[in-house]
Amino acid sequence: MIPVSQGQMKRLTTVHGWSGVVLGLLLFTVVITGTVAVFAHEIARWSAGSSSNRALDRPIDGIVRGLAETMPRFYLEDTNIWRTDAGDLMVFFHAHATNPETGEPDEYGTMFRVDPDSGAVLARDEGFMWHEQQAWEPSALRKFLVDLHVQLYMPDPWGLIVTGLLGLLMMAAAISGFLMHRHLIRDLFVAERPGARLVSARDRHVLASSWSLPFAIILAFTGSFFSFAFSVSFPIVAQVAFGGDQEAMAKTLFEAPVAEDARPVRAADLDAIRAAAIDEAGGPLTFIGIHNYGRADARVHVWHAAADGRLGFTQTVFDGADGRFLGIKPQVGNVPSIGNDLNALMWPLHVGDFAGLFSKAIWGALGATTCFVILSGLRMWVRRREAERLWRGFGRAVTVTAYGLPIGMVGSAHAFFLSLPAGDPIFWTPLGFVGGALASIALGLRAGDDGRLAQLLWRILSFGFLLLPLLRLAVGGTSWADAIAGGHGEVVSIDLLLLLAGGVMWWARNSSGSYRTAAAEPAE
Amino acid sequence: MSVLASTAAIAVTLAGIGRLAATDPKRRRSFGMQPFRGNRQVVLALTAVFMPGVLLLAIGSGADFIAWLGAICVAGWAVAAVSPWRVASAWRWMAAVAAAPHRLLVSAVAGVRRLAAAVLPRSARAGIPGRDPVGAADDGTVARIAELERRVAQLEAALAAPSVASYAFGTEGERRVTRLPAFQRSDLQDAKVLRTGDR
């Protein structure tokens, strides 16, 4: 494609190979958890059990107004309203204060969990609520999987920095691979050649990476963008332009300017605003934010999921005092801009959340393809060097990681369901992952042969898949009949997918034993 | 509109990718296949690959286009990753599946008849068309037995006649052999077995 000299090719090969070897397994961790995290909402509804899909489609004005009347004025600075994946209505009245534990500005207030049908308050908590996950997160499993993807379960901001660097690494590998491959178009249809030769391993890697190249770059770039935005970019912008005041920066970038008017007025009807918002934006409501509820300068921001044919979410703004529609607000700034348009593209391009399950399934498949590219590349590297003991050990690490991570994730799901009756899944879910991963590592250390190890881990994984739906039902999860009656297709779908995956893997278990340990061949 | 349009576009694109893959010279050479004979129709295939994307951009939406682009990156790989041998094997399997309904019908009819023969009482079986009263299989045996009995009778009559001996054994040691018309040894053996069985 692009002519490169022999020396350049050598350097590109070095960059491509060593970057993959040094951080490839960590990158695989981020990508495979991201592939699962694409279906975060579906996993949450499947694991937590959903009672209703329509918490924000029902009248909420009476509920919010009644709760607001019990709140001190201080807590009405900001009000967040959303629906959990379990179907409950959440209302969080809060103000901003410095969190003594972190020393950072934080949101302090009262959070209500409400039954959207009856309006009954199911729970009331007070404090710096974003640190109290059990109050608002119905699925510890979803939370764990997303956290693992976003920051590898590392402390802030190091996790974000590491995942951001891994995104850059993935881009470097994709671009260097593109430059190295001189016959990209000519090899676009060459399937893995038979014979389990080195060239077969190369075919496998090159074919998958050639087809997934555009989205590998897109996913890597958008992932890095999100990681560095919160850990590096915003703090730098706040430091440079706002003297370190991140709250002032957030107001400037994300809130519409409004002249202060603290006169108390009757708040606008939220149900009328909901209806008008849907008319204006088209997409379903996902979140409502009210600034200065019950004051003359109140503003209501309504977030909508992507409407039919659109990529990004939309934000409509209303006057909180008289309910007037004020306009559709750009995500960044207050006037349309190229920067805002590019920023709006980042989220849908990263998670594929713009056409429901259709686009999510495509993004999940893209993630799986990227996993295949990483593993096939690592295996090819090992294959070329398996005469050396060190690289055979690395090959064992690749096998353990390739199977151990999915086993760990399945283990976390098992731990989540097993700990549900005890009521502490937030503690046990990560431990389930650690247990599954450690068991895989232990088997990897004990096994004498890579082929047998792969077969054993394969069977454990398939058994784990098969057992999950049964365990979910055994601990009182939503039954299929209730799920179908309530319109929660994800419950039945995920159960069936797990049974199918486990069954097919169990049936095809011998295929994993075809791991090749032939002698190294010269590069072709 | 969106999902439907994207799905249709993906299907057309995949058809184009499939055509390009099936006729690709390097792919065929790598698997020891003969070069594709005939017109590859590359322009038509490329049009099928890219035109849906252009149309989605022109008359659909950006979301449709992005979904199409993502899907063809995955599905294109899936199509190209299948070796030509597996494709040929899949074609054979599909041909077998297509022929299966006829075979199934024939097997089902035979199965029903065997089931009826096993389940129904002998008296009821007598009423089944084409079946003789003693329950012999309806495969021409009845007619064959009748024919054999007719021939046996013919043979016995021929043996009983004095002139027949002169056919078999000539006078003064001269042997003259004359075949009886349409006589076959196996027929005679069958007839003996049947008659022995009768006794």
Provide the number of structural domains found in chain A.
3
Indicate whether A102 belongs to any domain. yes
Report d(CA A456, CA A454) in Å as an integer: 5
| Predicted confidence (pLDDT) per residue in B154-199, tens digit | 888 888 765 444 444 444 444 444 444 444 455 555 555 444 444 3
Domain membership flag for residue A471? yes
Confidence of residue B120 (pLDDT cuts 50, 70, 90): low
Measured between alpha carbons, how far is A300 from A315 in angstroms, rounded to an integer?
A: 10
As a whole number, mean pLDDT of residues A262-273 equals 94
Strands annotated E in A252-298: 285-291
The answer to whether position A300 is within a domain reads no
Together in a domain, B130 and B70: no
Give A521 or A132, the one with higher predicted confidence: A132
pLDDT category at A423 given cuts 50, 70, 90 is confident
B62 and B122 inside one domain: no
Q: Is the pLDDT confidence value at A516 over 70?
A: no
Task: For residue A207, list chain B residues with Cβ-Cβ distance below 8 A.
Answer: 77, 80-81
Backbone dihedral region of A255: left (phi > 0), alpha (psi from -120 to 50 degrees) or beta?
Answer: beta
Looking at residues B18-28, what average pLDDT do you find? Answer: 92
Average pLDDT over residues A346-371: 93
CB-CB under 8 Å, B63 with A359: yes
Supply the pLDDT for residue B121.
58
Say if B100 falls within a structural domain.
no
For residues B133 and B76, membership in a common domain is answered with no
CB contact under 8 A, A369 and B70: no
Eight-class DSSP state of B171: G
Phi, psi of A123 (to 5 degrees): -160, 150
The residue type at B197: G
Average pLDDT, chain A: 89
* Nearest-by-Cβ selection for B71 from A188, A191, A362: A362
Same domain, B151 and B188: yes
Q: Is A208 inside any structural domain? A: yes
Instruction: List C-alpha distances in Å: A379 to A24, A375, A514.
Output: 11, 6, 14
The count of other CB atoms within 10 Å of the CB of residue A383 is: 22
Rounded percentage of chain A residues whose pLDDT exceeds 70: 96
Q: Which two tokens stand for residue A258?
A: 């409004």
Q: Does B30 touch chain A (CB under 8 A)?
A: yes
Distance of alpha carbon B81 from alpha carbon B75, whole angstroms: 10
Q: Is A160 exposed, middle or buried (0-12, 13-18, 19+ CB in 10 A)?
A: buried
In this predicted structure, the answer to whether residue A471 has a pLDDT above a threshold of 70 is yes
A168 and A101 in one domain? no
Spatial separation of the C-alpha atoms in residues A168 and A223, rounded to whole Å = 9
| Residue A390 belongs to domain spanning | 386-524
Does residue B163 sit in the same domain as residue B82? no
Same domain, A456 and A472: yes
Nearest CA in chain A to B61: A309
B2 has a chain A CB within 8 A of its CB? yes
Give domain status of residue B138, yes or no: yes
Q: What is the pLDDT of residue B73?
A: 94
Residue A260 CA to residue A257 CA, distance in Å, equals 9
Measured CA to CA, the distance from residue B121 to residue A502 in angstroms comes to 49
Tell me which chain B residues have a C-beta less than 8 angstroms from the C-beta of A360: none
Distance (Å) from the alpha carbon of B102 to chain A's nearest alpha carbon: 30
* Cα A432 → chain centroid: 19
Per-residue model confidence (pLDDT) at position B175: 47
Do B128 and B188 lie in one domain? The reply is yes
Q: Which two tokens stand for residue A210?
A: 């050639």
Residue A453 CB neighbours (<10 A):
22
Q: For B62, which of A212, A311, A356 is closest by C-beta distance?
A: A311
Among A residues 26-45, those touching chain B with beta carbons less than 8 Å apart: none
Average confidence (pLDDT) over B116-124: 65
Chain B window 98-157: which residues touch A at a Cβ cutoff of 8 Å?
none
B61 and A190: CB-CB below 8 Å? no
Q: What does each C-alpha distance from A218 to A152, A177, A214, A352, B88 come to in angstroms? A: 20, 15, 6, 11, 35
Q: Check: CB of residue A213 under 8 Å from CB of residue A177.
A: yes
Cβ count within 10 A of residue B132: 13
Residue B122: the pLDDT is: 57
A74 and A189 part of one domain: no
- B195/chain A closest Cα distance in angstroms: 58
Instruction: List, edge to edge, every strand of the sheet that includes A105-114.
Output: A121-127, A105-114, A89-98, A78-83, A285-291, A299-304, A314-319, A325-328
Residues A399 and A508 in one domain: yes
DSSP for B72-139 reads: HHHHHHHHHHS-HHHHHHHHHHHHHHHHHHHHHHHHHHHHHHHHHHHHS-HHHHTTSTT--TT---TT
Residues 309-348 of A with CB under 8 A from B: 309-311, 348
- End residue of a domain, out of A75, A102, A137: A137
Residues A407, A501, single domain; the answer is yes
CB-based contact, B41 to chain A, within 8 Å: no
Q: In this complex, which of A191, A192, A306 lies closest to B63 when CB atoms are compared? A: A306
Q: Residue length, chain A?
A: 524
Q: Is B71 on the interface with A (CB under 8 A)?
A: yes
Query: Cβ of A358 and B67 within 8 Å?
Result: yes
Q: Is pLDDT above 60 for A497?
A: yes
Does residue B134 or residue A191 have the better pLDDT? A191
Confidence at residue A193, expressed as pLDDT on a 0 to 100 scale: 86
Q: Is residue A52 part of a domain?
A: no
Residue A488 CB partners (closer than 8 Å, separation 6+): A45, A50, A53, A478
> A209 with A201: CB under 8 angstroms?
no
Residue A153 has what DSSP assignment? T
One domain for residues B121 and B195: yes
B1–A309 CB contact, under 8 Å: yes
pLDDT tens figures, A69-111: 999 998 999 999 999 888 889 999 999 988 898 888 899 999 9
A192–chain B Cβ distance below 8 A for any pair: yes
How many Å lie between the alpha carbon of B31 and the closest alpha carbon of chain A? 7
- Residue A80: strand, helix, or coil: strand
CB B84 within 8 A of CB A191: yes
Q: Could B74 and A349 be called an inter-chain contact, meaning their C-beta atoms sit closer than 8 Å? A: no
Average pLDDT over residues A256-272: 90
Region B17-36: mean pLDDT is 90
Q: Does B80 touch chain A (CB under 8 A)?
A: yes
User: Rounded to an integer, what is the distance from CA A219 to the centroid of its chain?
Assistant: 12
Structural domain harbouring B196: 117-199
For residue A520, name the pLDDT band (cuts at 50, 70, 90): very low
Cα first-last separation, chain A: 19
Token representation of residue A518:
């032939």
Q: How far apart are CA B12 and CA A168, in angstroms?
A: 35
Do A503 and A452 share a structural domain? Answer: yes
Domain count, chain B: 2
Mutation target for A interface from B66, B68, B86: give the one with most A CBs within 10 A: B66
Model confidence at B111, pLDDT cuts 50, 70, 90, reads confident
d(CA B96, CA B42): 31
Share the mean pLDDT of chain B. Answer: 76
CA distance A351 to chain B (A): 12
Please tell me if residue B42 touches chain A, with a CB cutoff of 8 Å: no
Distance from CA of A104 to the nearest CA of B (A): 38
Same domain, B18 and B60: yes
Co-location of A393 and A520 in the same domain:
yes
Predicted pLDDT at B19: 93
Region A234-241: mean pLDDT is 87
B77, B82, B89, best to mutate vs chain A, most A CBs in 10 Å: B77
* Cα A200 to Cα A206: distance, rounded to the nearest angstrom: 10
What pLDDT is attached to residue B130? 45
Tell me whether residue B180 is in a domain.
yes
A406 touches chain B (CB under 8 A): no
**CA neighbor of A345 nearest in space, from A358, A360, A330:** A330
Residue B77 to residue B94: CA distance in whole angstroms: 22
Residue A352: its chain B contacts at CB < 8 A? 70
Q: Residues of A with CB below 8 A from B27's CB?
A: 189-191
Q: Within this chain, do residues A520 and A431 fall inside the same structural domain, yes or no? A: yes
Residue with tokens 């049936």: A507
**Per-residue pLDDT for B132 more than 50?**
no
Is B108 inside any structural domain?
no
Q: Is residue A285 in a domain?
A: no
Verify that B162 and B84 share a domain, yes or no: no
Query: Which residues in chain A are contacts of B4 at CB distance < 8 A?
Result: none
Q: What is the pLDDT of residue B169?
A: 42
pLDDT at B135 > cutoff 60: no
Closest C-alpha among A102, A351, A80, A135 to residue A246: A102
Query: Does the beta-carbon distance from B70 to A366 stay under 8 Å?
Result: yes
Query: Do A218 and A342 lie in a common domain?
Result: yes
**DSSP states of A100-144:** TTT-SEEEEEEEEEE-TTT--EEEEEEESGGG-HHHH-S-HHHHH
Looking at the predicted structure, is the pLDDT value of residue B76 above 80?
A: yes
Cα maximum dimension of chain B: 112
Distance from chain centroid for Cα A168: 18
Are B21 and B83 in a shared domain? yes
Q: Which of A3, A15, A28 lies closest to A405, judged by CA? A: A28
Note whether residue A462 is domain-resident.
yes
Same domain, B137 and B195: yes
The reply to whether A510 falls in a domain is yes
DSSP string, A303-325: EEPPPTT--S-EEEEEETTT--E
pLDDT class of A377 with cuts at 50, 70, 90: very high
The answer to whether the Cβ–Cβ distance between A189 and B66 falls below 8 Å is no
A299 sits in which H/E element: strand A299-304
Average pLDDT over residues A214-243: 90
Give the position of tokens 């003996």: B192
Q: Whole-prediction pTM value? A: 0.80
Contacts of B69 in chain A (CB under 8 A): 214-215
Residue of B nearest to A189 (CA): B80
**Last residue of some domain: A137, A163, A179?**
A137
The answer to whether residue A185 neighbours chain B at the CB level (below 8 Å) is: no
Mean pLDDT calculated for residue range B102-109: 82
A517/A394 same-domain check: yes
In three-state secondary structure terms, A342 is helix
Q: DSSP strand E in A365-474: where? A: none
The answer to whether residues A209 and A75 belong to one domain is no
CB contact under 8 A, A194 and B81: no
Q: Return d(Cα B56, Cα B13) in angstroms, integer.
A: 12
Which of B59, B23, B25, B58 minimizes the C-alpha distance to B41? B23
- Cβ atoms of A431 and A422 within 8 Å: the answer is no
Q: Which of A221, A319, A224, A230 is nearest to A267 (CA)?
A: A319
Strands A325-328, A314-319: pairing kind = antiparallel
Q: Does A369 sit within 8 Å of B80, measured CB to CB?
A: no
A523 secondary structure, DSSP code: -
Show residues of chain B in contact with A208, CB under 8 Å.
77, 81
Are A369 and B84 inside 8 Å of each other by CB? no
| Domain finish residue from A88, A115, A137 | A137
Which DSSP helix (H) or strand (E) runs through A90? strand A89-98
Chain B: residue nearest A194 by CA?
B31
Give CA angle at A39 (A37, A44), nearest 5°: 95
- B52 interfacial to chain A (CB closer than 8 Å): no
Contacts A–B by Cβ distance under 8 A:
99
**pLDDT number for residue B170:** 41
B102 found inside a domain: no
Q: For chain A, say whether B73 makes contact (Cβ under 8 Å).
A: yes
Mean pLDDT of A66-70: 94
Q: Is A286 helix (H, G, I), strand (E, B) or coil?
A: strand
Residues A348 and A392 reside in one and the same domain: no
Tokens 């008849």 correspond to B113
